[in-house]
Structures are given as structure tokens and as C-alpha cells.
Structure 1
Amino acid sequence: MRNVLTIDQGKIRDGTLDDLKRRTCTWVHYWEPTPEELADAASHIGLDAEELQELLSPTQRPTLRDTTTFSIVVIRSPRKDKEFLTKPIVLAVSKAKNDLISVTPYHSRSIERIAALPGARRTAIFAEGATALLFTILDEITASYFNVLERMDDEIDRVERNIRSTNGESRTMETIYRLKKTLIYFHKALVGNREVVGGIEKAYAQFIDPKLLSKFRTLHDQIVQLVELDATYRDILTSTLEVHLSVISNAVNITMKRVTSWGAIILIPSLIASVFGMNFDLIPTAHAQWGFYGALAVMVVATAALYWYFKRKDWI
């Protein structure tokens, strides 16, 4: 699918691909593109359809490169399916043509939020040109990382409150591993995004307006902050996992102590009964009048002594 927005006489309107020939800022966005739309987008950017398809592959790293007329920025954005992962977004900007072409293999909420900005705000962005629009998209994607990490912070707080409970240990472990997996994906994506924004800031992209490069410096600092925040959360989860495993280990030890204690208590009378129950004629005290009661008394005393001992040791 495709959507075109352009500025015309100070107002934002829906446009067509013909508006790319004009000198006013035009934004063409493709999402979930068909093969025909993918080839169309590639031809405008100056790539082969196969090259553009490769840039949209799930394993594509963030990158910055130039074609003959566009600077191509590939950035990774958080995307939630069953869990939070990251997916690539291709952004092609031209200072000379004042155009921006974006391609995503999915429906991006970050792109949707920018397209739905209030009229005055959108007009101001388009009036600054395609580079300002590129910055706005990158800024929105960076903000979405902050939003996701904020929600993860709440989840980590809940996990920390529940780690001393062994009742829901499987759910706690599952949550910790899920959060760590997401943070690892985020770290890889954010490090790549940081390199790309750093390259833009250093004017490595030929077709990005140098007058607006100072904006990307602030964005670069925000991504650095995200990388550090991601690392902090991973360290917290690692420590939380260690504490939780210690709690589980202690619970297992307590259970084993109780099982051992009761096993020993049951073993003594069973041992005495088995000795006196052997099928031999010559068993001492076996035929005495007090033999049964003596054996029973020994069982009771031994059982009581063991129970007192284990109770004193707090094993039962």
C-alpha cells in the first residue's frame, strides 16, 4: 500500500507520485508493499527491487548509504507481534528534490503517528524540508523505544516484587527470559541506530541538508542514553535471575530437609520392627512377656528423640 503527502501553498494535502517532480517537500510512504509497489519505490530511490528487498529483510542491520540522488537510511524500530522485537524501516531522503520515500514491510505506528500530527505541526515540518521530516521520523522511532523500555521497567518492578515467591516460579522465569531476549534485540538495534545517526551528524550522507545536522546530535545523545538504559535493565534482570534461582534452590533444600527428616523418623521404627519380625526362633527377648512392649517403647522413644532433634534443627 502507498500514501503520498505533499505541501502545496502552505497546506498539506494528499498527493500523487507526480509530486515527486516538484521542488516542494513530498513524502511517499509504502507499507506492506506488493512486488509492483516495491519495484516502483526502488526505481524512484535508484535501487534494484532486489536491493530494496534485501534492505527490508528481518536481519538487515541499520546502515547509511547514498545512491545517485538519495541518501538511504535503514533504521530498526520496535515492533510487537507476540513479543517486542525490532524490524527495519528504509528511509530515502533527497535534499535537492526535497523528497522523502519510506518503505516498511509492516504497518508502522511511528509513521502513522507522524502522518496524523495536527495540521500546523505537519505543515511546519514539511516547510523545513525532507531532512526535517527524516529527523521527525527518527525522533518518533527513538521515542517509541523509550515508551517500550518504560513499560519494561514496570514489568521488571513486578518481577522484583515476586522473586521471593516460589509459587509462580515458572511464570517468573519465563518473564525474565522474555525481557532479557527483548533487551538483547533492542541492544543490537540501538547500537546500529546510534552508528547511523552518528554518521548523519558527521555529514556522511550526501543528500541530507547540512543546515539541520545539529538536530541529529541531540537524537544521537538520546540513543546513547537508550543503549545505557538497556544495559542497566539487562544487569538488573541478571541479578534478579540469580536471586530467584537462589530462592528456588533454598526452597528445594528446605523440602529435601523435610523429606530426609520424616524419612529418618519413619526408618527407625521400621528397622526395629523388621529386626524383631525376622523368622528365627532364637531372637533375644522375642519370647519374653515384655518383649512386644519393650520394642514398642524403643520405637516410641527413638521416634520422639528424632522428632525433637529435627525440630530443634528447624528441619521440620
Structure 2
Amino acid sequence: MSMAGNLRRVTGLGKAGRLRGGVARLTGRRDRVDLSHPARSPLGSAVVNCVSYQDGERVPGGRDLVDTVRRIRRSDEGFVWLGLHEPTDEEFADIADLFDLHPLAVEDAVHAHQRPKVERYDETLFAVFKTVCYVEHQELTATSEVVDTGEIMVFVGHDFVITVRHGRHGSLGPLREELEADAAQLAKGPAAVLHAIADHVVDEYLHVTEAVQADIDQVETDVFAQDGARADPGRIYQLKRELLELKRAVVPLGRPVLDLATRPVRVVDPEIQAYFRDVSDHLLRATEQIAAFDELLNSILQAHLAQVTVAQNEDMRKITAWAAVIAVPTMVCGVYGMNFEHMPELHWRYGYAMVLGVIAAACFVLHRGFRRNNWL
């Protein structure tokens, strides 16, 4: 059976009229809901959307992926946008053949866990973006999850865009709707979709950094409070750990985005490159904020450790001062506890009162001196 026939078979657009695994989940029917929207996209399904565009407008129909691609290539106008969510090797195999995708890029797209990058394979551009999401929490603890990450892989060709999403967030449904509302931008081709995805991902970086800053401000306030030495240092370590996760997503993307903005790329129109320069500026801002947060957390941690050390020194001074005060009566009582027959004032009627007075006077002088020196 030919590849086209195989695609039609797995899409379930024959007699049964149902979607059955593989690429069937990729095309869908026009009467099905748009599963790309976050409120409608069931996790665990590779279905997202498959839509063709011409002059920035969505083309009706397009039930058959192979026929849609053939029509676009025959007219040499428009492009198809195919979206997937965590597809398997089997679901992606026929698509890779149809669009002549490089096996290494296909492997990266299916198995994920890639570093942000942009690679060129002949006429195809392959980009990997790390998506981030701020995890809301009532109170920051030593085990709170602050940043959740995912991935978006994008294949860009002359007449197609394929997006592969991994993770529990980062739906491109709202982005698709925004692009469809701006036909002039969408008419610039697949590179416009690539820019929109990059811009969307980087904007989320900025939103997450703002939310993380609120957590850092709260920790800073708690550390420098009156009882800051009692603050839980585990929260600071947890924030540093989550900030490291955010840093791994943001920082490596700097060079690929800069390349898209400055170096000539066959599938990226020079007009679109100007938009990538704006994305690069936003990304640089996010990178600088993360670096500043890292330095600030180091300073907060050092300040907390210094506060703990000062508090411990104050406790030791108090203990030492009270030990010195108690040492006076202990010494006197120890001397008079000896069983010697001849001792000063042993048989004097007022000797006991005198000893108590000397002890009280000595303790008072020591206590006053320690209080004056802020030891007590």
C-alpha cells in the first residue's frame, strides 16, 4: 500500500469514518472541536490540530492530510500547520516520511528532554523551546514546586509547520487563534508561526520571573524580620533549585534566537528576522533577571547564615554571663562547705548574713556590668 493510502487508512477517513491511532489523530474532521485549546485538549492524546492557510486565511476542509499537502505544493501557495502532543514513534513515522524530516530531528521531537536549540536540515529548520509555567502555591515551603517545564519542538519548511508539544502546559491553541486574527502576519508564512511561538515562549519566561520575584521578596522579608534567624533556610534552597530549572530553560535559548535574528536562514524571511530581534531583547531581559535573582538568593542565604551566627553568639554570651553570676555563690558556698574547725567568722552571730550580703552584692555588680555591655 502507498504511503498516501496508509495515511488515509490510519486517519480513519474511509468507511468507518473514525479516528484510529497513528496519523489519524492528526487530521481530525471539520465537525470536531478544536482540541488545541487548553480547556479541550485531553492529555495523553496526540491530537491537536491540522489546518492549512492561504494568504493568512484558514482554508476550509482539509480532512485528508496528504491531499492538503499535495494541493499546497501544486499551487505553491499557503502552508499547513500540523500540531501534536506527545506523539509516539508509530504516530510520527508517516508524517516524517511525508514531510521528509531528518531522522535525528524526529528522534528528538518524539523523545523530548532536549536542550533549547535551532538546527538546519537541508530545507527544514528544527527548533526546540523549553516552556515554563509558574506553579501556584498558598505558601512557599522547603518542598514547594515553583516552576514546571515542558518542551515545544517546531519543524519549519517552505510550506509546513509541525509543532510537537511535551508537558502539561504550553498549549498553542490560544496562540493559533491570535495568529488567525492577524491575517497579515500569518500571510508571511511558516516563519511567522515560528516567531509567534518563540515570542509566546519568551513572554512566559518574563511572566514566570515576575512571579518568582514575588516569592523571593517574601523570603527576603521573612529573613530580615525581627526573628529572621528562625526562618527556614530550606525555602531559600528550594527557590535556588527551582531557579536553576528556570535558568536551564532560558539561558541556552539565547544563541539560537540571536542566530535567527541575525544570520540568513532559507526558510525565514528577512522581514521576520526583525521580529526575532525583539524576541532576543526580551530573552536577554529574562536572562538578566534570572542572574540577578540568583545573586540575590545567594546574598539572602548568606545574610540568614550571618543572622544565625549572631543569634548563636548572643545566646553564648547570655549563657556565659549567667554562668559567671552563678559562679560567685557557688565558690563561696564551696569554701564554707569545707569541714575545717578554724574558719573566719565561723562562730560569729552575723557571719551567715554577711556571707549572703557579699554574695548578693557580687552578683548584683556582675549582672549590672553584663547588662551595661549588652550581654544580658
Using structure 1 for the length normalisation, give the TM-score.
0.85
Match in the other structure for 1:198: 258
Q: 8 Å contact 1:4–1:14 — kept in the other structure?
A: no
Q: Counterpart amino acid of 1:46?
A: L
Q: 8 Å contact 2:87–2:110 — kept in the other structure?
A: no
Match in the other structure for 1:275: 335
Superposed CA RMSD in Å reads: 2.9
Q: Tell me how far apart the structure 2 counterparts of residues 206 and 240 of structure 1 sit (CA, whole Å).
A: 48
Matching residue within 44, 49, 52 for 1:4? 49
Counterpart check, 1:315 vs 2:359: no
Matching residue within 153, 175, 183 for 1:90? 153
How is 1:1-316 mapped onto 2 (pairs within 5 angstroms)?
Answer: 1-7=46-52, 10-11=57-58, 17-18=65-66, 19-23=68-72, 24-40=78-94, 42-43=96-97, 44=99, 46-48=101-103, 52-53=107-108, 56-58=111-113, 60-80=114-134, 82-94=145-157, 96-97=158-159, 99-109=160-170, 111-117=172-178, 119-121=180-182, 123-165=183-225, 167=227, 169=229, 171=231, 173-203=233-263, 205-316=265-376
Q: Which structure has more RCO (C-alpha within 8 Å, separation ≥ 6)? A: 1
Distance 1:140 1:171, change over 3 A: farther
Deviations 1:128-180 (A, max 9, x none): 22110110010010000110111122223223322222646565533332333
Q: Tell me how far apart the structure 2 counterparts of residues 12 and 166 of structure 1 sit (CA, whole Å).
A: 65
Q: Report the 3-state secondary structure (helix = DSSP H, G, I; strand = E; otherwise coil) of the residue aligned with 1:109.
A: coil
Q: Counterpart amino acid of 1:92?
A: F
How many corresponding residue pairs? 312
Distance 1:190 1:170, change over 3 A: farther
Q: 8 Å contact 1:30–1:37 — kept in the other structure?
A: no
Q: Tell me how far apart the structure 1 counterparts of residues 262 and 239 of structure 2 sit (CA, whole Å).
A: 34
Q: Tell me how far apart the structure 2 counterparts of residues 116 and 251 of structure 1 sit (CA, whole Å).
A: 57
Q: Report the 3-state secondary structure (helix = DSSP H, G, I; strand = E; otherwise coil) of the residue aligned with 2:127.
A: strand
Q: 8 Å contact 1:63–1:196 — kept in the other structure?
A: yes
- Flag structure 1 segments of 5+ consecutive residues without an equivalent: none
Q: Tell me how far apart the structure 2 counterparts of residues 208 and 113 of structure 1 sit (CA, whole Å).
A: 23
Q: Report the 3-state secondary structure (helix = DSSP H, G, I; strand = E; otherwise coil) of the residue aligned with 2:172.
A: helix
Aligned-residue offset at 1:244: 2.8
Identical-residue share of aligned pairs (%): 26
Q: Report the 3-state secondary structure (helix = DSSP H, G, I; strand = E; otherwise coil) of the residue aligned with 2:263.
A: coil
Q: Counterpart amino acid of 1:302?
A: A
